[in-house]
């Protein structure tokens, strides 16, 4: 009767459908737990947003009153080395070359 693989799979699915009925109460409790956890996360998220907004308002108020310096405007200049940095790099390179010449001679 069950000589082909397809008929075995179909028989297994039928047996599974008949004997493995889902536990509705367990699914309901799991869903309720997930909903409670999501509500808790939403409350924490709202609390964090409210605190962040209050901090931003306080900082803006302090800046308006002059207690805090305004944010520095970013300049678009890249950090350029001074002539002292260039000179130091040049002498460092000469020093390494002289060391290698001394080492291998």
Q: Which of the 8 DSSP states describes residue 84? A: H
Identify whether 91 is part of a domain: no
DSSP 29-51: HHHHHHHHHHHHHHHHHHHHHHH
**pLDDT for the residue numbered 34:** 94
Quick one: average pLDDT of 66-89?
74
Q: Is the pLDDT of residue 74 over 70?
A: no
Identify whether 77 is part of a domain: no
Q: Which domain holds residue 39?
A: 13-70
Q: Is the pTM of this model over 0.75?
A: no
Is residue 40 within 8 Å of 46, Cβ to Cβ? no
Beta strands in 2-103 (DSSP E): none
Quick one: average pLDDT of 17-23?
72
Number of independent structural domains in the chain:
1
Identify whether 90 is part of a domain: no
């Amino acid at each position: 009767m069950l000589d082909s693989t397809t008929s075995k799979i179909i028989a297994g699915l039928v047996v599974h459908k008949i004997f493995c009925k889902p536990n509705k109460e367990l699914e309901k409790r799991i869903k309720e737990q997930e909903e409670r956890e999501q509500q808790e996360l939403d409350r924490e998220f709202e609390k964090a947003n409210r605190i962040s907004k209050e901090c931003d308002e306080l900082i803006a108020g302090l800046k308006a009153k002059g207690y805090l310096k305004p944010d520095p405007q970013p300049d678009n200049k890249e950090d350029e080395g001074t002539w002292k940095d260039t000179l130091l790099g040049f002498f460092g390179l000469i020093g390494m070359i002289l060391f290698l010449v001394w080492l291998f001679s």
